[in-house]
Every structure is written in C-alpha cells, then in structure tokens.
Amino acid sequence: MTKQNGSYLLDTSVIIDYLKGNPTATTMIDSLEGEFYGSFICLAELYEGLERMTSRTKIEPVIKDHFASYHHVFGLDEKICQNFAQVRVDLKKRGEIIEDMDIFIAATCLAHNLTLVTKNPKHFSRVKNLETLPL
C-alpha cells in the first residue's frame, strides 16, 4: 500500500478494529504518514463500550495509550459548534440526516481540515466538503 500524507481523524469503528488487531485496519493505519487527531466523541463512544464490559482492566489502558499517541484530541470549540449547526441544517433540508455524534465527528474534521478515516464512507458522504478515506 502506498504511503499517504496528511492529517487524519479515525472514526470510532476504525479505532476499535485497529485496537483489536484487525489486519485491514492495522495495514491501512500503519500506511498513513502524517498526524493523527482524536475527537472527544470517539473517546466517549469507546468509554461507553467500556461501561458495557464486565472486565475492562485490560482494555482501558490500551484506549488511554492509543489516545495519548495522538497529536491532539479535540474537544468542543466554537468552530466545531458552528460547523455542527451548518452541517445538521443542511442534512435536514436535504432529508439526509445522520446521527448527531457523527455530525460532531464530521464538524471536527471540517473545522480542522482533517481527513476522516471511516468504515462508513457512504454514510459520511452526505456531509458536503468532508474528505473521507474508506477502510
């Protein structure tokens, strides 16, 4: 696989596959050159998954280490909130609404000029001007 340069945000399902050692995910992520960024949404979704587990002692440190390797984990800021509102209104007008969590992920990418690495490129393709890289 050819190395690609850029700035990337990994969707939650991609992070899960990567942490599980899925060969498709690990090969692709390892082939990317550039900086990786996180979203508070992805972190929250991973913690939600942990809450459902009976034994999380082995998994929680792996998640923390993974997010610690990122250049930055974005929380909410004004630009993300503005992008969220614009994207949500546009999707509703077109009758193509997606979940709010996914709109926040897309808004983060748009606000910070990041490529979203996702297993759901068709889903996110509804968001105008969002660059995606399918897994």
Which CATH number do you get for residue 17? Answer: 3.40.50.1010
Question: Which pTM value belongs to this model?
Answer: 0.88
Per-residue pLDDT tens over the stretch 70-88: 888 899 999 999 999 999 9
Exposure of 109 in the CB half-sphere (CA atoms within 13 A) = 29
Q: What is residue 123's predicted lDDT score, i.e. its pLDDT? A: 92
Q: pLDDT averaged over the chain?
A: 91
**Residue for token pair 């490529």:** 115
CA distances from 3 to 8, 33, 82, 85 (A): 13, 6, 33, 34
**What is the extent of the structural domain holding 65?**
4-134
Exposure of 86 in the CB half-sphere (CA atoms within 13 A) = 15
Domain count, the chain: 1
